[in-house]
Amino acid sequence: MSASALDWAGQLSRLLDRAPSAEALAAQDDAALIDLIAATERAKGRLAAAQARAEAAFWDSQIREQQRQGTPRGLLGRGIADQVALARRITPKQASDEVALHRVLLGSLPRTSELLEAGEISEYAARRIAENVLVLEEEDRTRVDVDLADQLPSVTARRAGDLARARAQALDADAAVRRHQRAVADRRVSLQPAVDGMSILRATLPVKDGVAVLKVLTEAARSAKAAGDPRTKGQIMVDTLTASACGLESPDDIPVEIQLLMTDMTLLADEESTAWIDGHPLPGRVARDLALGVPTLPPPAHVAADAPAPPPEISSAARWIRRLYADAKIGDLTEVDGRRRLFRGQVRRFILLRDQRCRTPWCDAPIHDIDHAHRFADGGSTDADNGIGHCQRFNLVKEMPGWESTVDPASDDRPHRLTIRTPTGHIYQSTSPLLRRLLDGEDGARAEILSDEPVDLDDGSDPDRRSSPTTADDDRPSDPEDLPEARTG
């Protein structure tokens, strides 16, 4: 960071350190508090503008550096937003979106940028405008910027986005078509955790497809209800969707293996510790029923509440129990009960269970690849200590020049640790989730900035530290027959 930028950041930090305390604010009159709220809101917009300028300048500088290094044209830009994500402690996808919008904002929407810098509009409003003019040519973006400038300070952020989209469509009739094409290309399915052991399965798909899917599920529910099915319409629709996707008659017959983490006491001794299934918390009793094949659906509504509970019907679906071991002191996952020492089978599954999500700090994306931290070609071992779970994106980013990864295996006083050094020399760390803390209802994982200033990593003299500057591996799961398991049921 240059001296002037460092000085400004230091002054800002010292100013924030002098922010009034809760006790001091309690002594202020209400008019002064409203004035402070308004002033801090304007300041947020001005800080957002400063951050946007820094991100745009960083992007341009990194592109020039990659060109100097001879990076192929198709790879220019890779890894730049990822550095922004680490600095801002947000996901790489979010950083990519915001950097792209900031470049449009500063490069094509000068009046909107001025309003943001003056604190007249919020960062969210500026973002909504920028994302709605992305598909326009430069000239049309400028026209939207000029036409809306006077209205923006007096409308909501959502209204600002609607006005920008309407003006964009009026200027370029093909813009709406291009926006639709981009949206169709971005169709996807995602899973989000919900309360009480539930989850939200969300599909983003073209409207005609969504209407068709809903119609099929609705007709299935109507037919089942007409035949006397005691379930509600919503229950039938969900069960039909699950059974159809899995190719089964009932959701409780799903034989596929899901990664369910729970203690032996929760499974066998009625302990109520929280369990985890693919990163989602689950009540211990529900997890036990799932592991043992007890149906998850509630009893029919016509059964009296005080009636004796009938014995549970155990599902015929296959269940597998895999034994895992945690360090007694720190709770880190340390061993797996298996025979193979490759990033396939038991070892791959062990790393997936240990890391849970992408180990890149603040990423939280699903694991796509298991990489060698210390390159296999350089003598790195294919074991759990040297294996790291990464998302597909970072698996590609870490191959760019200037990126370096180092791992420290778990020890008596700390869990497995990953250290990432970026091209600017900044260092970030993450530790694997502690299994015992996960099962106690805590997150267990840690991500932190080791150094805000560029530093040199250790030269690798520590034999337990394994590192690789650029290479990632792409091991795929082996055939299920290669996975020795204990099958129960």
pLDDT score for 371: 83
Amino acid in the structure at residue 124: Y
Q: Using 50, 70 and 90 to split pLDDT, how confident is the model at 462?
A: very low
Distance CA 323, CA 357 (A): 20
More confident residue, 95 or 410: 95
pLDDT at 348 over 90: no
DSSP 8-state code for residue 472: -
Range of lowest pLDDT (49-58, 119-128, 189-198, 382-391): 189-198
Distance CA 427, CA 133 (A): 36
pLDDT score for 264: 63
pLDDT at 68 over 70: yes
pLDDT at 325 over 90: no
Residues near 439 by Cβ (< 8 Å), separated by ≥ 6?
261, 262, 263, 266, 273, 274, 275, 276
Q: Is there a contact between 47 and 388 (Cβ–Cβ < 8 Å)? A: no
Distance CA 463, CA 406 (A): 12
pLDDT score for 469: 46
Q: Is there a contact between 330 and 357 (Cβ–Cβ < 8 Å)? A: no
Q: Is there a contact between 477 and 256 (Cβ–Cβ < 8 Å)? A: no
pLDDT at 109 over 70: yes
More confident residue, 446 or 224: 224
Distance CA 260, CA 248 (A): 21
pLDDT at 8 over 80: yes
Mean pLDDT of the chain: 78
pLDDT at 288 over 90: no
Which residue from 278, 474, 279 is spatially nearest to 369, judged by alpha carbons?
Answer: 474
pLDDT at 107 over 70: yes
pLDDT in tens, 75-100: 999 999 999 999 999 999 999 999 99
pLDDT at 479 over 80: no
pLDDT at 10 over 50: yes
Any idea which residue has 């809903």 for tokens? 214
Alpha-carbon distance values, 310 to 86, 295, 299, 316 (Å): 54, 12, 10, 18
Q: Is there a contact between 420 and 361 (Cβ–Cβ < 8 Å)? A: yes
Alpha helices in 369-425 (DSSP H): 392-397
pLDDT at 480 over 50: no
Range of lowest pLDDT (12-26, 119-133, 314-328, 463-477): 463-477
- Give exposure, 21-43, as e/b (b: 16+ Cβ within 10 Å): eeeeeeeeeeeeeeeeeeeeeee
Distance CA 317, CA 311 (A): 18
pLDDT in tens, 31-45: 999 999 999 998 998
pLDDT in tens, 255-264: 545 566 666 6
pLDDT at 455 over 80: no
- Radius of gyration (Cα) for the chain, nearest Å? 27
Q: Is there a contact between 145 and 110 (Cβ–Cβ < 8 Å)? A: yes
Alpha helices in 69-91 (DSSP H): 80-88
Distance CA 387, CA 367 (A): 12
Rounded (10°) CA dihedral 362, 363, 367, 369: -110
pLDDT in tens, 353-397: 888 889 999 998 888 888 888 777 677 778 888 889 999 899 889
More confident residue, 441 or 32: 32
pLDDT at 331 over 50: yes
More confident residue, 321 or 93: 93
